[in-house]
Structure 1
Amino acid sequence: MKDPFPFKPPPSLVQAVQPWAELFSLPTLPLHIHEILASSLLYTLIYWPISPLISRYVVGERYDKLSRKRRVNWDAHVVSFVQSTLINCLALWIMFADAERNKMDWQARIWGYTGALGMIQALAAGYFLWDLVVTSRNMDVFGPGTLAHALSALLVYSFGFRPFVNYYAPTFILWELSTPFLNIHWFLDKLGLTGSRVQLYNGLILIATFFSCRLVYGTYQSCMVLGDIWAALGTGPTHDPDGVPVALEMGDYVDSSGFVIGASEIPWWLALSYLASNLTLNGLNFYWFVMMIRAVRKRFQPPKRKDSDRETQVCVPEDVHTEAKLPASVEDPLRRRRV
């Protein structure tokens, strides 16, 4: 499937990036550098001025009364909501529409390339480029941990331009199907709707999508990519016209068998880095799920009465709920990702 992005990279931009792409062995980067920059620009505009304008229109003084730190966090959640919704829709569409991707066997899943898969890699990298800039400019809000995560996630997604496991790019993007509901949950807290019926319904959807997409589907796909990488260690792509290769988008970077020119065996450092990141994130997903259930339950359980309350028979109104805050690591998994 060809790259569905409506614009081609300017030749001058391709020429400027080409030396860096050759230096770091990222041959498909020049084909998608404009998408990285365009997506970063889009998220920058959403962060400011679009989010402040829309937020003031929707919630009025509630937004204006926020402190600078909380306002920065609010606008970042708006970007996260838009980005996760957009890229999930695109990932689902490509998974169904990319016929070349659906024909890939284990070798093509490791070294294969299509323009559509490269676009998904680029849009994810563009988000983390934006994240890196915003986090570095607001260290008092996000802290060094978030900065380190943004940098590492950008590097991990950049590996896809070798190309490397492009097949799995939309697959692992679907981990974020729960992220829009997580952001809604966060906004409901900030709007004083903690424990409301709307938050209850949203919380149920959040838990269901997180469990099915991350714990079930995500764990299965992690086992799949682990098996593919293990089979590829110490070997390079074969070029058998009657076997593995499929008809991918042709160009200067793709040869007649469908593999990017120069594709070779996977270095151990890349395989181990990718697998370690994937296993770590899977472990975090299970931890986040437990913390998420605890936080959601806390919002809808009445507070426990003390012994003195029982003696005086003071009734606790049914509509009183405790204010429970999601752990920082759960509040926005999209910003703390990624493989």
Structure 2
Amino acid sequence: MQDPFPIPPVPWLAELVQPWCDRFNLTTLPLHIHEVVAAALLYSVVFWPISPLISHFLAPDHYSKLPRKRRLNWDAHVVSMVQSCLINALAIWVILVDDERRAMTWEERIWGYTGGCALIQALAAGYFLWDLIVTSLNLDVFGIGTLAHAMAALLVYSLGFRPLVNYYSPIFILWELSTPFLNIHWFMDKMGMTGTRAQLYNGFLLLGSFFTCRLLFGTYHSYCVMGDFWRATRSPPGIEKLVSSSMAFADEGATVPVWAALAYLSSNLTLNFLNFYWFFKMISAVRKRFQPAKGAVEPVTEVEVDLSTVVASIPEKAQPRRRKA
């Protein structure tokens, strides 16, 4: 599949990053660097001024009273909402229409490349580039943990430009199908809608999408990518495999670097473990919102987990807070 992005590669931008790409063996990044930059600019504009303008219009009684730190956190959730909806829709579209991707062998799933999969990779990298910049400029708000997450996620997504497991980029992005419901849940809490019927229905959608996309769909494909990596360590591609157009960037006898495989698999396994942990914590948090209060004041733990995206990334944050029932 050809890259569906409507803007062609920018020659001067590709030449600018070419030395770095050669040094770190990011072979396909020059073809998609303009998409990474475009995504980062899009999310920057959503963060400011679009989010403040829309939030002042839709929730003037809530947004205008927020202090600086909570307002920045609100705007970051707006970006997360836009990013998750956009990239989920594009990932589903690529999975459905990319016939070349669908016909890939295990060798092509490891070393192969299609423009559609690379576009998803680039948009995800652009989001984490934006995340890294915003977190660095507002470290007092988002904390060192979020900064570490942004750096690690950007590193992992960049591996796809070697290319490496380019095939799996739209699959693991679909873990984010639960993120819109999580953001809605978060906004309802901030707007005084905790415990409402609307939040209950959204909670069912959140738990159902999280269980289906992350625990079932995600765990199964984590098993698949581990199997492909295992085959790659035992049988590198031969010359007969390189005639495929999707293997245009692979070399005969290519191997997967140990550090790259460990970085990808360790982050994937870590997130899979946390997915199960988060699921049970979310069940507990949703239940507490709808349990009758036993007294005038009953502490309720609100577990916030910003699940931004990704294919094989590290959790952004999980910050417990207490609120009155």
Q: Do both share a fold (TM > 0.5)?
A: yes
Alpha-carbon distance between aligned partners in 2 of 1:335 and 1:240, rounded to the nearest angstrom: 36
Alpha-carbon distance between aligned partners in 2 of 1:77 and 1:216, rounded to the nearest angstrom: 26
Shift in CA distance, 132/70, structure 1 to aligned 2, threshold 3 Å: same
1:294 matched to which residue of 2?
284
2:320 matched to which residue of 1?
none
Alpha-carbon distance between aligned partners in 2 of 1:65 and 1:214, rounded to the nearest angstrom: 36
2:91 matched to which residue of 1?
91
2:256 to 245, 263, 266: 266
Alpha-carbon distance between aligned partners in 1 of 2:181 and 2:233, rounded to the nearest angstrom: 38
Alpha-carbon distance between aligned partners in 1 of 2:251 and 2:53, rounded to the nearest angstrom: 48
Is the contact between residue 181 and residue 206 of structure 1 (CA under 8 Å) also seen in structure 2? yes
1:309 matched to which residue of 2?
none
Is the contact between residue 194 and residue 323 of structure 1 (CA under 8 Å) also seen in structure 2? no
Shift in CA distance, 336/292, structure 1 to aligned 2, threshold 3 Å: farther
Structure 1: runs of 5 or more not aligned: 249-257, 306-315
Instruction: Please tell me whether residue 334 in structure 1 is matched to residue 305 in structure 2.
Output: no
Partner-residue secondary structure (3-state), 1:240? helix
Is the contact between residue 3 and residue 119 of structure 2 (CA under 8 Å) also seen in structure 1? yes
Is the contact between residue 176 and residue 310 of structure 2 (CA under 8 Å) also seen in structure 1? no
Alpha-carbon distance between aligned partners in 1 of 2:16 and 2:142, rounded to the nearest angstrom: 32
After TM superposition, list the pairs within 5 Å mapping 1:34-45 onto structure 2.
34-45=34-45
TM, length-normalised to structure 1: 0.88
Instruction: Please tell me whether residue 137 in structure 1 is matched to residue 126 in structure 2.
Output: no
Is the contact between residue 177 and residue 213 of structure 1 (CA under 8 Å) also seen in structure 2? yes
Alpha-carbon distance between aligned partners in 1 of 2:142 and 2:238, rounded to the nearest angstrom: 46
> Deviation per CA, 1:112-167, whole angstroms, max 9, x where unpaired?
00111111100000000000011111111111001000000000000100000000
Is the contact between residue 173 and residue 309 of structure 2 (CA under 8 Å) also seen in structure 1? no
1:116 matched to which residue of 2?
116
2:319 matched to which residue of 1?
none
2:77 matched to which residue of 1?
77
- Please report how far the alpha carbon of residue 9 of structure 1 lies from its aligned counterpart in structure 2 after TM superposition: 1.6
After TM superposition, list the pairs within 5 Å mapping 1:171-250 onto structure 2.
171-240=171-240, 246-248=244-246
2:12 matched to which residue of 1?
12
Structure 2: runs of 5 or more not aligned: 314-325
Alpha-carbon distance between aligned partners in 1 of 2:196 and 2:132, rounded to the nearest angstrom: 35
What is the letter of the counterpart of residue 90 of structure 2? L
2:106 matched to which residue of 1?
106
Partner-residue secondary structure (3-state), 1:333? coil
- Please report how far the alpha carbon of residue 246 of structure 1 lies from its aligned counterpart in structure 2 after TM superposition: 3.8
- Please report how far the alpha carbon of residue 236 of structure 1 lies from its aligned counterpart in structure 2 after TM superposition: 2.6
Alpha-carbon distance between aligned partners in 1 of 2:248 and 2:245, rounded to the nearest angstrom: 9
What is the letter of the counterpart of residue 249 of structure 2? V
1:279 to 253, 269, 280: 269
- Please report how far the alpha carbon of residue 324 of structure 1 lies from its aligned counterpart in structure 2 after TM superposition: 3.7
Instruction: Please tell me whether residue 127 in structure 1 is matched to residue 138 in structure 2.
Output: no
Partner-residue secondary structure (3-state), 2:249? coil
Alpha-carbon distance between aligned partners in 2 of 1:203 and 1:40, rounded to the nearest angstrom: 30
What is the letter of the counterpart of residue 307 of structure 2? P
Is the contact between residue 39 and residue 123 of structure 2 (CA under 8 Å) also seen in structure 1? yes
Alpha-carbon distance between aligned partners in 1 of 2:139 and 2:309, rounded to the nearest angstrom: 14
> Deviation per CA, 1:269-326, whole angstroms, max 9, x where unpaired?
1111211111110000000001000000000001235xxxxxxxxxx8xxxx967453
> Deviation per CA, 1:226-260, whole angstroms, max 9, x where unpaired?
0000110154322326xx86444xxxxxxxxx331
What is the letter of the counterpart of residue 273 of structure 1? A
Alpha-carbon distance between aligned partners in 1 of 2:127 and 2:256, rounded to the nearest angstrom: 26
1:255 matched to which residue of 2?
none
Question: How big is the alpha-carbon RMSD for the aligned residues of Structure 1 and Structure 2?
Answer: 1.8
What is the letter of the counterpart of residue 333 of structure 1? L
Partner-residue secondary structure (3-state), 1:327? strand
- Please report how far the alpha carbon of residue 261 of structure 1 lies from its aligned counterpart in structure 2 after TM superposition: 4.4
Is the contact between residue 149 and residue 336 of structure 1 (CA under 8 Å) also seen in structure 2? no
What number of residue pairs does the alignment pair up? Answer: 312
Question: For the pair shown, which has the larger CA radius of gyration, 1 or 2?
Answer: 1
- Please report how far the alpha carbon of residue 337 of structure 1 lies from its aligned counterpart in structure 2 after TM superposition: 7.8
- Please report how far the alpha carbon of residue 334 of structure 1 lies from its aligned counterpart in structure 2 after TM superposition: 1.0
